[in-house]
Chain A
Amino acid sequence: MLQTNLNHVETEAQYNEILQNNENVMICCGRMGPMCVPVYDAMEDLEKEYPHVSFYDMEFDNPDAHVIRNLPECRGFMGLPFTVYYKNGKVVKATTSLQNYEQIKEILDAEFSK
């Protein structure tokens, strides 16, 4: 399990349930690596500012993480983490590699307006 203060997605069933029950979802799929940790950290800070968004992480090496690794929107991604934003269960944005606080905030504002 990833050592973050975020809620974790651990199974495919849980992933499907989250997408079904939440309008705005952000999932960061990575490891406890140098490019991933700053994204989790930014998400932890942004959780308070965006109560209408559900923030989750998922271990990249978890076999069930194929639900993210194999998304068509992640085709061509070769940098951890894969970060995916969902609106009503549909992918609206996906990014690869390190994104900073401001870049994430910009996406949240564009895709999940309050």
Chain B
Amino acid sequence: MESKKYDIIIIGGGPAGLTAGIYSSRAKMKTLIVDTGTIGGQMILTFEIANYPGVESTTGFQLAKTMKNQAKSFGCDILSNVRLTDVEFKGKTKSVIINNKDKYSGKAIIWATGGRSRMLNIPGEKKFKGRGISYCATCDGDFFQDKEIIVVGGGNSALEEAVALTKYASKVTIVHEFDHFQAFEHAVEEAKKNPKIDFIMESHLQEFKGNDSLEKVVIKNLKSGKITEKRIDGVFIFVGYEANNDFLKDKDIKLNDWHEVVVNGNYETNEEGVFAAGDALAKRYRQITTAVADGTIAALNAIEFINRN
């Protein structure tokens, strides 16, 4: 199979991948970004971004578009919505095959596939997605005007979105698996003082039930083992994120117990010439700013690696 040659191939077009693309193409490295979805990654899934330094307030869509245009302006090639067929990480020449037919080779790879919202993976979740189950309060909140809803989770997103959803819903019940929240204290306080919010602690959702749309949930109390059914109009799920590293499970790239990529101080994986950046990494803080920083460092190290070899 004939391959198109690049210096650096970046897999993933979120903030880490786009930043790596900006730095490497500006350094005159022939650079390709491939993404299995929309360019922008999780930025696209964010309505308002108010804490990106230098930008007072913008939408995720707009910030992603700007970063994409910046990368393109320096000559970076970008392919979105592709099917990743295979990646060869070993050897001096790395290769990436997409859509079962197109092969690209490079001297270095930057793995920047980001993360995704975690699902509960319980019966009925797929069936009622968009029919009562949502992962985006700002998108779907207004469908639940004067309705009763559940928010699942105990982190900042869950608590803040629960408060935001009281603008529409008549009642919001937060269901959380522990007896305490992981969210910042001010977010917990805001939720606790809201008269429309109540709490079901130390409990799991076990199943979603309904016909055309969601009608009830099955809840299990983890302490007593008691199982109850609750009539409900909607459920919003905010139970964290997981790395998009499914593709690496059969590869020799070192992952931690949560399937996150392990890198050294130079953002290089255990495979020479393979770097990683952004939410695919094993790290604590996952922000656009940290992804941008990761992408910068990974790109600079990849450039140095190529020049050295």
Q: Which residues of A contact B (CB under 8 A)?
A: 3, 31-38, 41-42, 45, 75-80, 95-98, 100-102
Contact = CB atoms under 8 A, between A and B. Distances in A.
Nearest to B42: A34
Given A33-B139, A34-B45, A38-B38, A78 B81 contact: no
Contacts of B129: 79, 96-97
Nearest to A39: B38
B80 A96 contact: no
B185 interface: no
Interface string B28-61: 0000000011111000111100000000000111
A79 B130 contact: yes
B212 interface: yes
Nearest to A101: B81
Closest 4 CB pairs of A and B: A79-B130, A97-B130, A96-B130, A76-B212
Contacts of B46: 34
Contacts of A76: 131-132, 212-213
A8 B37 CA distance: 23
B231 to A, nearest CB: 16
A87 B50 CA distance: 43
Most buried by B among A37, A45, A98: A37
B139 A34 contact: yes
Given A78-B131, A102-B83, A38 B44 contact: yes
Interface in B82-114: 83
A95 B130 CA distance: 8
Contact of B134 (A97, A101, A102): A97
B37 A37 contact: no
A91 to B, nearest CB: 16
A101 B81 CA distance: 6
B149 to A, nearest CB: 10
Interface of A is mostly: loop
B37 A34 contact: no
Contacts of A79: 129-131, 133-134, 139-140, 143
A79 B140 CA distance: 5
A41 B80 CA distance: 9
Nearest to A42: B81
B80 A35 contact: no
Most buried by A among B129, B144, B234: B129
Nearest to B40: A37
Given A34-B138, A97-B134, A78 B143 contact: yes
A78 B44 contact: no
A76 B143 CA distance: 10
B134 A78 contact: yes
B119 interface: no
A34 B130 contact: no
A75 B212 contact: yes
A97 to B, nearest CB: 3
Most buried by A among B59, B136, B212: B136
27 contacts: A32-B59, A32-B61, A33-B47, A34-B44, A34-B60, A37-B61, A38-B37, A38-B44, A41-B81, A42-B81, A45-B81, A76-B132, A76-B213, A77-B131, A78-B130, A78-B132, A78-B134, A78-B140, A78-B143, A78-B144, A79-B139, A80-B140, A96-B131, A97-B129, A98-B130, A101-B37, A101-B81
B80 A45 contact: yes
Interface string B122-134: 0000000111111
Contacts of B81: 41-42, 45, 101
Given A38-B37, A41-B38, A101-B81, A78 B139 contact: no
